[in-house]
Amino acid sequence: MSNSRPLTQTELESKPKYDSLNQCFWDERAPAHAVSPEYALNRFVAEPSYLSAVVDFDRHLLGNISQLDCVHLQCHIGTDSLSLAGLGARSVTGLDFSDRSIHQARSLAQECLESGGGELHFVQADVYSALRVLTPGGFDLVYTGIGALCWLPSIARWADTVSGLLKPGGRLFLREAHPLVWTLDENDAGGLSLKHPYFESREPVLRDHKASYVGTDAWGDFENVVTAIWGYLADRISSRRLPMVVGLLLLGGATALLCAGTNISLWIVGRLLQGTSAALVWTVGLAFIVDATASENMGKAMGWVGMAMSAGILSSPMLGGLVYSGGGYYAVFAMCFGLIAVDTAMRLVVADVKTAAVSTDGGVTSSDPQTAAGAIGLADEHLDGRAVDVELRGREVSSKKPAFLVLLRRPRLLAALWGTLVHGVVTTSFDSTLPLLVSDMFGWDSIGAGLIFLPLVSPSLLGPLVGAACDRWGARRLSSLGFLLATPFLVCLRFVDGDSLSQKALLCVLLVGVGIGMAFVLGPLMAEVMWVVEEVMPSSTQSSYAQAYGLYNMAFSGGALLGPIIGGLIRDAADWGTVGWTLGLLTFVTSISQTCWVGGPLIKGRP
């Protein structure tokens, strides 16, 4: 570090450009890091003595910091700052230039103070402004952890800042890699190649990485990979019960790894197992319901599924918070294990009806899937959205091709999958934008950021009513209406622009409107997938359901993966209003595709 030099005037003039790039980088990653297993924010709240891996490693070198006033420069989301407080520091002040990082750090500090943590303060400013926003000569210890100095343009100016912050006799603690590390080519996996200059250069090193240094969504990525595989295998197993039980056992193993894991490898394996389990249980579970439900009641059945999903989404934060506040970290996981055990027991006792078509209202019942499906199909030809020619229902589809390849050639199914993907994008795009909006605009804490999702999710409790309407009028009308209804509410989100009671009420009303629109989409598109299977493969419907719903799950998971990314990128590049009208444009276009192809082509011709 002795090779550093002050920046020239030209460099100082160009510095803000790079500061802005870096700030955008850290602002974008702070929310993802806050929920990543590696930072383990929940462990800090649950266990007052828990230390970050960085501070725990430095502990024996730090020595006794009891009753010291500490400042942590470049503190990010505050986990190391909190760990310093846990070691007995009288006060810890964290400083970082990323507003989103400071927001996460303050939220963590508030939760830990409620749990008996130490005194914490967080200030948003860059390192070189520290002497203007903090008390000069007010600290016994300046702490800087590994991987921080490389983001600074001038080490000399940083050293002047550190000197100005310390009391007489105060000390600096710095852990950093040797500068030689930063000269290596990070893309050279086969050796040690030098790429970057050893001495400080006039121009910074620019790196544009698609991912962060911590894992954030291995679950979603892996679920997309394995869903179609599980669907194909499940249709070739004589029982639906066995794969569902296997999926729940995998979920139990994943939960155990996430609960007891102490390193990144275990957490990654746990997330991968979660994705595997979710793909298996969702795919086979929906096929299980289809096996036990007559065609004319499918919309209602899927409406109940949608309502159950919503009930879980609504109740899980509340239950988790109550159990955690009463029993702590491990009590929450104990509740999860209990739910998995109950669900597994229910799978073992429920009747496996893969080999029989059962009518829930005393209708067609047959042990011959072809006979049952044919009878149901002929009885339902008058329903809008499922009307097909008798000749088409009787057409044989080659059994040599996997069912999902045959199904993917049908525009009707592709339209349903596109609608499902857009539904996932719209509903999950709020995950990365809505909490930040209410925090920045209204000053709400984490509780308010969680409760604001109630207006968005609550309308999906209308699922059974929407499903009954779907059984009567078909999926085309309802899915088209749902996307069209959501459009103006999404566009009008741009009018939420102030901190007043009327603005808060407006936001809630608009979210309810979006939620109602999405409630008209979820169940009907689930049912539409089954009706496509009946249309395309009338003689092998029972052996194709899991593959069809594997495709459905891939579409929904893809939307859930893209939604937060799209929402976050648009908000960072523009503003909250742009997020709304962009999603509104997407739902409007999707309503047209639903009208044209869901339930069969609107203009009769080649399917």
Q: For the ranges 152-156, 234-238, 312-316, 482-486, which has the lowest average pLDDT?
A: 234-238
**Any idea which architecture 218-597 has in CATH?**
Up-down Bundle (1.20)
d(Cα 594, Cα 412) in Å, to the nearest integer?
A: 9
Distance of alpha carbon 463 from alpha carbon 12, whole angstroms: 59
Place of tokens 């999903």: 309
Query: Taking a C-beta distance cutoff of 8 angstroms, is the pair 510, 408 a contact?
Result: no
Burial zone of 89 (CB within 10 Å; 0-12 exposed, 13-18 middle, 19+ buried): buried
pLDDT of the residue at 325: 63
Q: How many CB atoms lie within 10 A of CB 253?
A: 17
Q: Where are the domains of the chain?
A: 9-183, 218-597
Return d(Cα 534, Cα 298) in angstroms, integer: 12
Beta carbons within 10 angstroms of residue 594's beta carbon: 30
Task: Indicate if the pLDDT at residue 400 is higher than 60.
Answer: no
- The pLDDT assigned to 370 comes to 39
Cβ atoms of 434 and 453 within 8 Å: the answer is yes
Q: What is the mean pLDDT of residues 468-479?
A: 90
Q: What is the mean pLDDT of residues 282-309?
A: 78
Alpha helices in 173-263 (DSSP H): 218-234, 241-260
71: left (phi over 0), alpha (psi -120 to 50) or beta: beta
Could you give the C-alpha distances from 316 to 335, 393, 470, 543, in angstroms and in order?
11, 43, 28, 34
Mean of pLDDT values over 307-315: 71
Where is average pLDDT lowest: 25-39, 124-138, 167-181? Answer: 25-39
Cβ neighbors of 594 (< 8 A, separation 6 or more) are 415, 419, 476, 479, 480, 483
What are the CA-CA distances from residue 110 to residues 36, 70, 113, 320, 328 (Å)? 19, 18, 5, 18, 17
Tell me which fold the domain 9-183 belongs to.
Rossmann fold (3.40.50)
Average pLDDT on 355-368 reads 41
CA distance 443 to 436: 9
* Position with higher pLDDT, 596 vs 385: 596
Residues 6+ apart with CB under 8 A from 495: 506, 577
Over the Cα atoms of the chain, what is R_g?
Answer: 28
Is pLDDT above 50 for 516? yes
pLDDT band, very low/low/confident/very high, at 109 (cuts 50, 70, 90):
confident
Quote the CA–CA distance of 81 and 384 in Å, as a whole number: 62
In the predicted structure, residue 3 carries a pLDDT above the cut 60: no
Q: Give every CB contact of residue 249 below 8 A, 6+ residues apart in sequence.
A: 344
Q: Where are the alpha helices (DSSP H) in 350-462?
A: 369-379, 390-393, 403-407, 411-429, 434-442, 446-451, 454-457
Residues 247/284, Cβ–Cβ less than 8 Å? yes
Mean pLDDT along residues 316-340: 77
* For residue 208, pLDDT beyond 70: no
Per-range mean pLDDT, top range of 41-55, 223-237, 245-259, 539-553: 245-259
Q: Provide the token pair at 230.
A: 């599980």
